Structure 1
Amino acid sequence: MPILPFAIPYRLAASLLLLGLLPLASACGQNPPATAPALPGVVRDSATGRADLPWLRQQLDSSVTLRRQQVGVALADAVTGEPLFGYNEARYFTPASTMKLLSLYAGLTLLPDSLPSLRYFSRGDTLFFQGTGDPTLLHGDVPSRRAYTFLATRPEKLLAYCDIACVPAYGPSWSWDDFNYYFQPERTALPLYGNTVRFYAGAPLVGRPRPGAPAQVLPQRVRVFPRVFAPLTAAAGADFRLSPDQDDDMHVYRAPLENRFTYRPGVKKWIDEVPYRTSRPLLLRLLGDTLRRAIVGTAWRPRPGQDSIRTLRGLRADSLYRRMLRVSDNFLAEQLLLMTSSQVGYRDSLSGPRAIRHLLKNQLKTLPDRPDWVDGSGLSRLNLLTPRTLTALLCRLHQRVPEPRLLSLLAAGGGQGTLRRRYFEAGPPKTPWLWGKTGTLTHTCNLAGYVRCQSGRLVAVTFFNNSIPGNDQATRNAMERLLHEVRERL
């Protein structure tokens, strides 16, 4: 077969081409990198410069858990205040206990470093005094003895307690059937013992009525504090039923409209706390028994230009803020709002709504959306907030309060309080990466606070979930997973 003159150059070129492709083929045959390149954390609109997180939006849209309910999310840089992400951020939600962050802002704005404990003036042999809403007098968890010592050691012969107009015992739209639970004490101008009664039951003892007799289980003994309520407390009979739908997990039941307590004996020791019904006669009796001094009730009538009205300073305010936020104490939040009201307008009454109106008209008038704010604790379902408004408030708090102090007031992931089981790196050492405030009601699971990202950035975040059907455990898991991704990507 004849050989064409162009055959040899052609074969040579083909061989050279094949040799050139071998390295490329070898490279393509290698295993791909272990992980794909991470998507950018923040994407900016080229026209407006606004930040967005498309990956977070996609996960919120596709979550089987979250799409069953109403979800709102707002993220911002805590230092600069720059918005980073919004998802239904302008819609109003029931905030539950995240409202306590507004109460914190009210306290930081209107109150001094030490709480106003009492207002008083002296005339002759009588000391006239009235409450300011301070909840710490003989409180079981944040006790202050400042007012107690002051009243017990005054040289005047007579102590005269003076009423001051105050809000109703319960806030608007509070659940009427929660009167028996520790988390809903009555609001008053001068609380004592946190306006609750504590019951301490020891384990039942086994004894013998006489030597040689069969052992018998003795009735469970229950200590009552304050002692004035002991005669009003009795053990329940076998057929006791306060109401057809009573909570059988409770140990102590109070009659709806009176201070009559019934406890159910058990086989183990327990502690319970129940609010008592407040009244002026009861307050005078509790004060007299505690101070061991005669107390009378009278009207507050200082003489202008003659009687010098003074304010007794009590507990450091941060101690109250910390307890209120970490364990979500409703009573402390409500009383805090009453105390702030004594600093604005007329001082002839204690009115949370007055303090709220003042703040919304002045310090908080530039929030993205006006809050519907009706109480200090978030117990009321009449409260409404948008996610971007609460995130803006978080940024203001960060600008107002030094970061170490601010984070120390909040519940920390893996630490004390409502976040102790979540939002931390196991370590060692155990390291929190979220500090914040939870908000929980039936069908409601919210979170607002600060996420420390792996980059070092601190992100203010609000994550609202309303209208949750059934159990909220899946919602809590989804929130933690998504916020952990925020921590990694930002």
Structure 2
Amino acid sequence: MHHQLTKITTFLLLFALCLPFHGFGQALTKIQQQAMDKLVLQSPIFARHFYGFMLYDPNGKLTLYQKDADKFFTPASNTKIFTLYTALKVLKDSLPVLRYTQEGGFTVFQGMGNPMFLNPYFPQDSVAWKFLSKQKGHLAFSGSNFKDERFGNGWAWNDFRDDYQAEKGSFPIYGNLVRFQLDSFSKKWRAQPDYFLTTLEYDPQNASTSPEILREEHEGHFLYNTACLRAARVKLTTPFKYTTHLVCELLTDTLQRKVQVWNTPVLTNTWRTLSAPLPDTLLRLYMQDSDNYIAEQLLLSCSAQLFGDLDIARTIDYAKRAVLGNSPDGMVWVDGSGLSRYNLFSPRTIVSVLEKLYQEYPSERLFRIFPAGGVNGTIQDSYPGKDGKPYVFAKTGTLSNNHSLSGYVRTKTGRMLLFSFMHNHYLGSSLPIRKEMQKTLEWIRDNL
């Protein structure tokens, strides 16, 4: 019996030695450690600002390398990784599009944060559209379940005209953006939606040499300058001022039937919710284009799913307690998109969420959602693989003087490693930093 046990033990040891080393999460050798020190700690580019880095092997549950991985940094759009995980856990495969009730001959409906309704980037939302189109009697929209603000805490107040900072809303429509285009031959304007053509006016006082269409912060009209008339081609996108009244006017114009504002309280136990599938096309656009509007609306949709009301702060509080669990270093998380400079995460905390995603969802799906180096999204022109095969799948995060990259790196040996690189308070362009990060990630690909 003892002889048999010895033979079995010997066999298991030999079998283990033959397994690929990366299955056990092998630590760095001394030579590899020194090479990483040279790339990360001794980089003259990184030395000029504050930065943190973590490299982690999820198979062996092993931190391979770190530099200030427990320190806090402004994450910018790396925040979207947390929003993605929350949306996948809360919404699963279903997106609430609206809820409704019947009140004395009226179909009263409320928004649930759905970012796809009449959004030109997506096929028409047939569930909400068909429902509203086919209702008999009167239609009325209630915005009373929106308990949030149009902008997030810490957003730049003077960016209200920029298309990356569309206002939040319970029933977003056309992506909460208006798209103007000037025909160079006829000099006639087109707009999507057409409704906004009546709000477009000429401003001879705007002397800018670049074509501009400007809106006063709280006004509903848009002003174009002389440079628009001189340009060969004008195509400009800008947020509109989102209000309950405007939603009703846009729906009336689009549905070709009257939609009015409903201000009377409705008993909460009478609502019925309509949902549609949550498509990966939405998640891909969100992550690959780093779409701030979709990020915020996804958290609002999570709030609608959880509570009926739309409140991002409440959703984040829930996610921190019930979805993310205990994070390694805690966090300050205030919005869905990362536009706020109030957000603070550590590289180690970001890696912990990357690990949850990697463990809980098929990697093929995950890597189709994340930007792929040299292939698509915000890293289409960076981190190229060999023979067109990407080796980095990662989310960028950029605000002025802040740049981060967090995600997954596949090595030549087939090892999948998680990383988070965070850089704060540098001057000038992020290009030298991105090139330096690429050197590090290429070395990791080729040597681990």
Give the number of equivalent residue pairs. 418
- Aligned partners of 1:416 and 1:193: how far apart in 2? 24
One-letter amino acid of the counterpart of residue 412, structure 1: A
- Aligned partners of 2:417 and 2:264: how far apart in 1? 49
The answer to whether structure 1 residue 222 and structure 2 residue 151 are counterparts is: no
**1:212 corresponding residue in structure 2:** none
- Structure with the bigger percentage of helix: 2
**2:127 corresponding residue in structure 1:** 146
Match of 1:178 among 135, 159, 163: 159
The answer to whether structure 1 residue 43 and structure 2 residue 43 are counterparts is: no
* 1:228 aligned counterpart, secondary structure: helix
* 2:223 aligned counterpart, secondary structure: strand
* 1:412 aligned counterpart, secondary structure: coil
Match of 1:281 among 229, 245, 265: 245
TM-score of the pair, normalised by structure 1: 0.81
One-letter amino acid of the counterpart of residue 54, structure 2: A
| Contact 1:42-1:52 within 8 A present in 2 as well | no
The answer to whether structure 1 residue 95 and structure 2 residue 75 are counterparts is: yes
Structure 1 range deviating more: 133-142 or 385-394: 133-142
In the TM superposition, residue 304 of structure 1 has moved relative to its aligned partner by: 7.2
Cα separation, partners in 2 of 1:447 and 1:432, compared to 1, 3 Å: same
Structure 1 range deviating more: 368-377 or 410-419: 410-419
- Aligned partners of 1:303 and 1:384: how far apart in 2? 39
The answer to whether structure 1 residue 107 and structure 2 residue 87 are counterparts is: yes
- Aligned partners of 1:81 and 1:351: how far apart in 2? 35
**1:189 corresponding residue in structure 2:** 170
**1:483 corresponding residue in structure 2:** 441
| Contact 2:141-2:262 within 8 A present in 1 as well | yes
Cα separation, partners in 2 of 1:304 and 1:286, compared to 1, 3 Å: closer
- Aligned partners of 2:264 and 2:406: how far apart in 1? 42
In the TM superposition, residue 481 of structure 1 has moved relative to its aligned partner by: 1.0
* 2:377 aligned counterpart, secondary structure: coil
One-letter amino acid of the counterpart of residue 355, structure 2: C
The answer to whether structure 1 residue 240 and structure 2 residue 198 are counterparts is: no
* 2:353 aligned counterpart, secondary structure: helix
- Aligned partners of 1:488 and 1:145: how far apart in 2? 48
| Contact 1:81-1:395 within 8 A present in 2 as well | no
Q: Describe the superposition over 1:296-337 as per-residue Cα deviations: whole angstroms up to 9, x where unpaired.
A: 2224645577x4x32111252422211110100000000101
- Aligned partners of 1:172 and 1:310: how far apart in 2? 31
Cα separation, partners in 2 of 1:364 and 1:300, compared to 1, 3 Å: farther
- Aligned partners of 1:413 and 1:250: how far apart in 2? 33
The answer to whether structure 1 residue 376 and structure 2 residue 336 are counterparts is: yes
One-letter amino acid of the counterpart of residue 249, structure 2: R
- Aligned partners of 1:173 and 1:118: how far apart in 2? 29
In the TM superposition, residue 222 of structure 1 has moved relative to its aligned partner by: 2.4
The answer to whether structure 1 residue 356 and structure 2 residue 341 are counterparts is: no
Match of 1:169 among 146, 150, 157: 150
- Aligned partners of 1:42 and 1:81: how far apart in 2? 10
| Contact 2:213-2:236 within 8 A present in 1 as well | yes
Match of 1:389 among 332, 346, 349: 349
| Contact 1:448-1:463 within 8 A present in 2 as well | yes
Structure 1 range deviating more: 257-266 or 399-408: 257-266
**1:22 corresponding residue in structure 2:** none
Cα separation, partners in 2 of 1:293 and 1:436, compared to 1, 3 Å: same
- Aligned partners of 1:80 and 1:265: how far apart in 2? 62
- Aligned partners of 2:445 and 2:234: how far apart in 1? 41
**2:11 corresponding residue in structure 1:** none
| Contact 2:189-2:197 within 8 A present in 1 as well | no
Match of 1:463 among 421, 425, 443: 421
The answer to whether structure 1 residue 136 and structure 2 residue 116 are counterparts is: yes
One-letter amino acid of the counterpart of residue 372, structure 2: A
- Aligned partners of 1:262 and 1:310: how far apart in 2? 41
**2:7 corresponding residue in structure 1:** none
Structure 1 range deviating more: 77-86 or 327-336: 77-86
| Contact 1:340-1:355 within 8 A present in 2 as well | yes
- Aligned partners of 1:413 and 1:73: how far apart in 2? 19
One-letter amino acid of the counterpart of residue 98, structure 1: N
- Aligned partners of 2:111 and 2:305: how far apart in 1? 13
Matches within 5 A, 1:293-308: 293-299=257-263, 301-303=265-267, 307=270
**2:285 corresponding residue in structure 1:** 323
The answer to whether structure 1 residue 262 and structure 2 residue 223 are counterparts is: yes
One-letter amino acid of the counterpart of residue 365, structure 1: G
| Contact 1:415-1:432 within 8 A present in 2 as well | yes
Cα separation, partners in 2 of 1:291 and 1:90, compared to 1, 3 Å: same
**1:437 corresponding residue in structure 2:** 395
- Aligned partners of 1:170 and 1:464: how far apart in 2? 25
Structure 1 range deviating more: 360-369 or 295-304: 295-304
In the TM superposition, residue 272 of structure 1 has moved relative to its aligned partner by: 1.4
| Contact 1:74-1:89 within 8 A present in 2 as well | yes
- Aligned partners of 1:386 and 1:355: how far apart in 2? 21
In the TM superposition, residue 363 of structure 1 has moved relative to its aligned partner by: 2.5
In the TM superposition, residue 249 of structure 1 has moved relative to its aligned partner by: 4.8
| Contact 2:40-2:46 within 8 A present in 1 as well | yes
Matches within 5 A, 1:322-341: 322-341=284-303
Q: Unmatched 5+ residue regions in structure 1?
A: 1-40, 46-50, 206-217
One-letter amino acid of the counterpart of residue 107, structure 2: L
In the TM superposition, residue 42 of structure 1 has moved relative to its aligned partner by: 4.0
TM-score of the pair, normalised by structure 2: 0.88
Q: Unmatched 5+ residue regions in structure 2?
A: 1-25
* 2:332 aligned counterpart, secondary structure: coil
One-letter amino acid of the counterpart of residue 116, structure 2: T
**2:49 corresponding residue in structure 1:** 69
| Contact 1:52-1:84 within 8 A present in 2 as well | no
* 1:55 aligned counterpart, secondary structure: helix
| Contact 1:413-1:419 within 8 A present in 2 as well | yes
* 1:424 aligned counterpart, secondary structure: coil
One-letter amino acid of the counterpart of residue 110, structure 1: V
* Structure of higher CA gyration radius: 1
Q: Describe the superposition over 1:430-466 as per-residue Cα deviations: whole angstroms up to 9, x where unpaired.
A: 1111111100000011101111111101111100011
